[in-house]
Amino acid sequence: MFSLKQNSWFIRKVVIWRAVASIAWSVLLLPVTTAVFVLLSRFSLFHPIQWISDCTSLLAASSTIFSLVVLCGVVLITGFFNLEFYTLVPSIPCSRMALLGTVLHPRQCVHSLVYCTMGMLVMWCASVTIGGRYSTLGTTCRQSESGEVVTCLNEYHLFILLAGAFMGYSHSFLGVVQNMYYVSFQPIQQYKYPRFKGCLPMVVKCSVIQALYSARNFAAFYFFFGYAPKTWISSTLNLQIDSSLQPLDSLTGLLDLSLLYHLSISGTFLYLTWYLTVLLFRIYVTEAYSFPVQSTFTEDAEQSLPKVLAEKNTLVMKFLALQDLALLSQHSLSRRLEVFSLSQPGGHAHNWNAISRECLSLLSELTQRLVAHQDAVASNGRVKSQSASSDTRSASSSSSVVSGTEDIAETPRLSVPLRTPGSVFKSSVGGANSALTAPFTPDVDSPFSSPAIRRLVGQQDPQSPCFGTVQSPHIMRRGPKPWSASTESQSSGSPPASPATVPSPPAASQKPSFLAQWLQNRREQVKSFLAKRVLIMYLFNKLPEASSQALFADSQAHIWALQGLSHLVAASFSEDQFGVVQTTLPNILSCLVVLLEAVDRHFKLPHASSKPVRTICSMGDSTYKTLRFLLRAVLKTTIYKITTTFGEHLNAVNISTEHRKRLQQFLEFKD
């Protein structure tokens, strides 16, 4: 991914600077949050004047300044992780096993480790700032027997540090589960400052709630397992354990209100630091960017809107270009006129043609994806075609019915990708195994799919567990541990020809046929054996509606394409002087109607129309769960917008009879 980033002017000139600005603002906010934290940590109700003067002197102390420097480092690393991990297309694990695979993935392990360390660092700063009994790891104490003064382990300090590591890990873990790095776009445009102000209460609330949860969980954790780190630290650092104090891994030790208060506010401080960085990054990255419709100079040609829309390599640029298209089509008359204009020598409508072609190819790609998915799950999971075989498991309720059919489908090609352990969480997007990509990924190699789609698919690597084929327990068992491979391809993420999938275990690929036969029998036995085990079924069963969510994971792009098209077409009724839109109107209408039919049929599938449970407060963005509803609503509005604008004139448009019938329903507002 990094090599691709180097190539794109947009990443270099825009995204990097936006990330830098967001990190700079997070660093600037640090003194403020630290001051609030100091005030809260030293809070004393009965001596307000002493409290204030204590806090001001503490804020000027050198230890606080040093803490701030450490915290700046933490914020910088967080910001770097945001930039490196952020995604516009969420990863949607389709089974619990896939989720487990993502959590235990090496890249994720590194992430967790770094966050644990950062959590300890922040908590160290917090404990130094709070001072008192928390400040150092070692304290002097008097041994009970001999009465001599020795250095003892300060369990409070250790407790706070471990809490930091625990919170760091839970932040990293929840980041995967709740898609913390998914960046969604707001339905309305706002300037950055009002948006930040509007989100701030939500972020504070989230961090408080999350800190309270984590504090509770950590207290329980320490109660049961606190003995181990305590003895380990005291033996390695040769510190005594003060027996006169109440140990913290006991009920009476934990029921210390002041300790719990300090734990919660330090936890809130920790989460707030991270969440603010994430929030600022989201606000900066999703800020609208205005691309010129027509470039004045040839060297800027690659920055013009039609070129950028056709760009495949930089997803963020494509998204922002589509957003810009949707905005200009609604709000800017002068830029619309540029879209409808003709090229100066030649008189071709290059701008409109390029834009409409790109939008239509996006939409038709979605249609194909939906149709392929419907074919796959049609007739209750029975195999329709060879290529559909691998995903049948998802739709079938009884695995035994499928196992027979599936094995037949699999036998002819005991190919490499099937065995690829990495494919548990890495989509097999590559030339060799396109037949095995799940049927509802767009067929990457098919001639219809536009190059843009291939890019989009390529970007979807984390969500592959749904698309990825290997879901059956037996394959999982036979391969080595599923997270052992394809590290590089994950971290580098270069979509085409994911190299890591190919070199992984080749042993299984060349086998004589009788062995395959025997294997198949054994496999069936193993499978029926495993199907009876509750835990295995629990891990491998598909999560309901996950496949539906995964299908529409990148639908924000389609929504903008629809909005842009609808407003442009509607505006063309009065603003298009040369009639450039009229030539593409039949294409647009039929594309929309076909997509509508596909979407309608998709919503008749089980689980497709069930609404997700709304999460009350979490930093993870769950808007991707409802994108399909949004897409359907926008699609209908788009068609209505066009039909109400054109009215009876639509009868003059050359489209097929069925489509005309469908449009007639829209004209009468009967849909």
Whether the Cβ atoms of residue 667 and residue 624 lie closer than 8 Å to each other:
no
Count of all residues that appear for the chain in the document: 671
C-beta closer to another protein: residue 151 or 622: 622
Q: Specify the pairing of strand 149-153 against strand 138-142.
A: antiparallel
- Write down the least CB distance from residue 574 to another protein, Å: 11
Rounded distance between C-alpha atoms, residue 163 and residue 234, angstroms: 18
Minimum separation from the CB atom of position 619 to another protein (A): 15
Dist. CA 273–CA 207, nearest whole Å: 9
Counting beta carbons within 10 angstroms of the beta carbon of residue 631, is it exposed (0 to 12), middle (13 to 18) or buried (19 or more)? Answer: buried
Q: In the beta sheet, which residues pair with residue 139?
A: 152
Closest approach of another protein to the CB of residue 98, in Å: 25
Q: Cβ 294 to another protein, closest distance in Å?
A: 18
d(CA 626, CA 552): 9
Name which of 614, 624, 486, 442 is nearest 548 in CA terms. Answer: 624
Q: What is the DSSP letter of 648?
A: G
Work out how close the CB of 332 gets to another protein at its nearest, in angstroms, rounded to a whole number: 7
Return d(Cα 440, Cα 544) in angstroms, integer.
16
C-beta of 347 vs 647, nearer to another protein: 647
Q: Which is nearer to another protein, 76 or 337 (CB)?
A: 337
Of 152 and 557, which CB lies nearer to another protein in the complex structure? 557
Distance CA 424, CA 482 (A): 6
Which stretches of the chain bind another protein, using CB under 8 A?
Answer: 186-191, 194, 197-198, 330-334, 563, 567, 611, 614, 623, 626-627, 629-630, 632-634, 636-637, 640-641, 644, 666, 668-671
Q: 3-class SS at 140? A: strand
Q: In whole angstroms, what is the distance from residue 293 CA to residue 301 CA?
A: 10
DSSP helix, strand, coil percent of the chain (3-state; round to 5): 70, 0, 30
- In the complex with another protein, which residue's Cβ is closer, 361 or 563? 563
Q: Residue 195 or 318: which CB sits closer to another protein?
A: 195
Q: Between residues 159 and 275, which has the closer beta carbon with respect to another protein?
A: 275
Residue 263 or residue 325: which is nearer to another protein going by CB? 325
DSSP state for residue 238 in the 8-state scheme = T
The conformational region for residue 62 under phi > 0 = left, psi -120 to 50 = alpha, else beta, is alpha
What is the nearest approach in angstroms of another protein to the Cβ of residue 532? 37
Please report how close the Cβ of residue 331 comes to another protein at its closest, in angstroms: 5
| Minimum separation from the CB atom of position 629 to another protein (A) | 4
For residue 562, the minimal CB distance to another protein (Å) is 11
Instruction: Please name which of 669, 671, 670, 651 lies closest in space to residue 660, comparing C-alpha atoms.
Output: 651
Nearer to another protein, 189 or 517 (CB): 189
